[in-house]
């Protein structure tokens, strides 16, 4: 989920629509509402944020510093006008990138990916037997071969692997994949995504790595005696 902050709702509405067409969930706030939400939301909910995109508004530098106190997600500032001093101040405040408007949603997504790759460490790849799962947007690999997955399924796999030491609920997975404020999508869609994902993984690995327990949730496991699909 990408968080958009601007005091012009027509601007944030336009970006939300553009990001949605690219299959990326987003939520928008005015600066006042964002400040209240950011300080009151829980750590797990903040962990579902992929990036913060800050429009051109007062206190933007202050917000950039605040974001970095609780989140490692990239922060990108969108500028209506160019100006060296303003740009330098934004970088000094902790912004990861400054982009001149207008900018296409695809470029924003690409810049977020580039920032994550620059700041990633070798631990960004998790090896579980023949399965290698990345957390920087790349498709997983099985025995060195790329397993191409739709964005939602790939994000679910990343989330399950990152939290494999515990069970996670359908609601937690939904928030991580669709965002906290997507009211147009039913939470039950998670079950459909997981069903498709586990079928692909079962076929490739020879066992079902996603353990499901009613009322308890989902957990990624490395061994499960389920025959591979033919």
Residue after which a domain boundary falls, among 66, 96, 119: 119
Q: What is the rounded end-to-end Cα distance, in angstroms, of the chain?
A: 36
Q: Does residue 164 share a domain with residue 92?
A: no
**Distance from C-alpha of 113 to C-alpha of 135, rounded to nearest angstrom:** 10
Q: Does residue 113 share a domain with residue 73?
A: yes
CA 110 to chain centre: 13
- CA dist 191 → 56, 170, 185 (Å): 39, 8, 13
pLDDT of residue 121: 56
Q: Does residue 89 share a domain with residue 61?
A: yes
3-state secondary structure of 215: coil
pLDDT of residue 179: 65
**Which structural domain range is residue 25 located in?**
2-119
Q: Does residue 96 share a domain with residue 133?
A: no
Residue after which a domain boundary falls, among 119, 151, 168: 119
Global confidence as pTM? 0.61
Tens digit of pLDDT at every position of the chain (230 positions): 899 999 999 999 999 999 888 878 888 999 999 999 998 887 777 877 889 999 989 899 999 999 999 988 999 999 887 778 888 999 999 999 999 888 999 999 999 988 877 776 555 788 898 999 987 778 999 999 999 998 889 989 999 998 888 898 888 888 777 765 555 667 788 899 999 999 999 999 999 999 998 878 999 998 644 444 43
pLDDT of residue 181: 56
> 105-119 and 9-21 are packed helices; what angle lies between their axes, rounded to 10 degrees?
80
Q: Does residue 110 share a domain with residue 163?
A: no
Q: Does residue 108 share a domain with residue 185?
A: no
Which of 174, 29, 190, 13 has the alpha carbon at shortest distance from 105?
Answer: 13
CATH code at position 147: 1.10.10.10
**In this structure, are residues 173 and 190 in contact, taking their beta carbons and an 8 Å threshold?**
yes
**In this structure, are residues 52 and 99 in contact, taking their beta carbons and an 8 Å threshold?**
no
Residues in the chain: 230
Q: Is 152 part of a structural domain of the chain?
A: yes
Reading the block at residue 11, the tokens are: 């601007």
Q: Does residue 27 share a domain with residue 110?
A: yes
pLDDT of residue 204: 92
**In this structure, are residues 160 and 131 in contact, taking their beta carbons and an 8 Å threshold?**
no
- Measured at the CA of 161, the angle between CA 1 and CA 229, to 5 degrees, comes to 110
Residue after which a domain boundary falls, among 89, 119, 149: 119
Q: Is 45 part of a structural domain of the chain?
A: yes
- Measured at the CA of 56, the angle between CA 115 and CA 41, to 5 degrees, comes to 65
Q: 164 — phi, psi (to 5°)?
A: -65, -15
Paired strand residues for 141: 132, 146
């Amino acid at each position: 989920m990408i968080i958009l902050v601007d005091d012009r709702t027509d601007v944030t509405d336009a970006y939300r629509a553009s990001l949605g067409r690219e299959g990326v969930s987003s939520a928008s706030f005015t600066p006042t509402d964002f400040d209240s939400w950011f300080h009151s939301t829980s750590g797990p909910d903040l962990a579902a944020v992929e990036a913060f995109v800050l429009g051109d508004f007062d206190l933007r530098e202050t917000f950039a510093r605040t974001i970095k106190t609780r989140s490692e997600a990239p922060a990108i500032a969108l500028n209506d006008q160019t100006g060296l001093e303003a740009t330098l101040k934004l970088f000094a405040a902790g912004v990861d990138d400054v982009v001149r408007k207008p900018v296409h949603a695809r470029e924003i997504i690409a810049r977020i990916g580039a920032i994550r790759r620059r700041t990633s460490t070798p631990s960004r790849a998790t090896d579980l037997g023949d399965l290698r799962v990345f957390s920087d947007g790349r498709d997983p690999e099985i025995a060195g071969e790329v397993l191409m997955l739709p964005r939602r399924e790939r994000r679910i796999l990343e989330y399950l692997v990152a939290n494999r030491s515990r069970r996670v609920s359908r609601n937690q997975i939904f928030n991580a994949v669709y965002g906290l404020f997507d009211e147009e999508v039913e939470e039950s869609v998670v079950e459909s995504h997981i069903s498709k994902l586990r079928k692909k993984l079962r076929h490739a690995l020879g066992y079902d790595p996603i353990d499901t327990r009613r009322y308890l949730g989902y957990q990624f496991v490395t061994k499960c005696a389920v025959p591979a699909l033919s």
